[in-house]
Chain A
Amino acid sequence: MTRVLVVDDAATVRLYHTSLLREAGFEVAEAANGLEAVEAAMTTPFDLFVVDVNMPKMNGYACVETLRSETVGTAAPVLMISTEDRPGDADRAYQAGANLYLVKPVAAERLVRVATMLTTGKDPAA
Chain B
Amino acid sequence: MGLVRKQAPEPELPQVLDTDELVRRLDDPDPELRREAALELAGKPEAVPELLARVGLETEPRVRDAVLTTLAGHDSEAVAAGLAVHLASDEAGLRTAVAEALASMPVSTPALLPSLLAAPDHDVRVMTAMVLADLPHPEAKSWLVQMIAEDPHPNVVTAAIDALLPAASAEHIGVLEAAVLRFPDDPFLAFTVRAALPRLTGTA
Contact = CB atoms under 8 A, between A and B. Distances in A.
B186 A105 contact: yes
Nearest to B159: A83
A11 B100 contact: no
Contact of A107 (B61, B93, B154, B187): B187
Interface string B94-138: 011001100000000000000000000001001100100000000
Interface in A90-115: 92, 104-108
Contact of B92 (A10, A13, A84, A85): A84
B90 interface: yes
Contact of A54 (B61, B92, B188): B92
Interface residues of B, number: 28
Contacts of B130: 54
Contacts of A46: none
Q: How many A residues touch the partner, as a band?
A: 20 to 34
A12 interface: yes
B93 A61 contact: yes
Interface of B: 61, 90, 92-93, 95-96, 99-100, 123, 126-127, 130, 154-155, 158-159, 161-162, 165-166, 186-189, 191-192, 195-196
Nearest to B88: A86
B187 A13 contact: no
A88 B90 CA distance: 8
Decide if the interface of chain A is mainly helix, strand, loop or mixed.
Answer: loop
B122 to A, nearest CB: 8
Top-10 shortest CB links A-B: A105-B188, A59-B92, A83-B155, A10-B162, A12-B192, A12-B162, A59-B93, A83-B126, A16-B191, A54-B96
Given A59-B93, A86-B90, 12 more contacts: A11-B165, A12-B161, A12-B192, A15-B195, A16-B188, A16-B195, A56-B96, A83-B155, A88-B90, A92-B90, A105-B155, A105-B186
A104 B162 CA distance: 14
A19 B190 CA distance: 14
A105 B15 CA distance: 53
A24 interface: no
Contacts of B188: 12-13, 16, 104-106
A55 interface: yes
A84 to B, nearest CB: 6
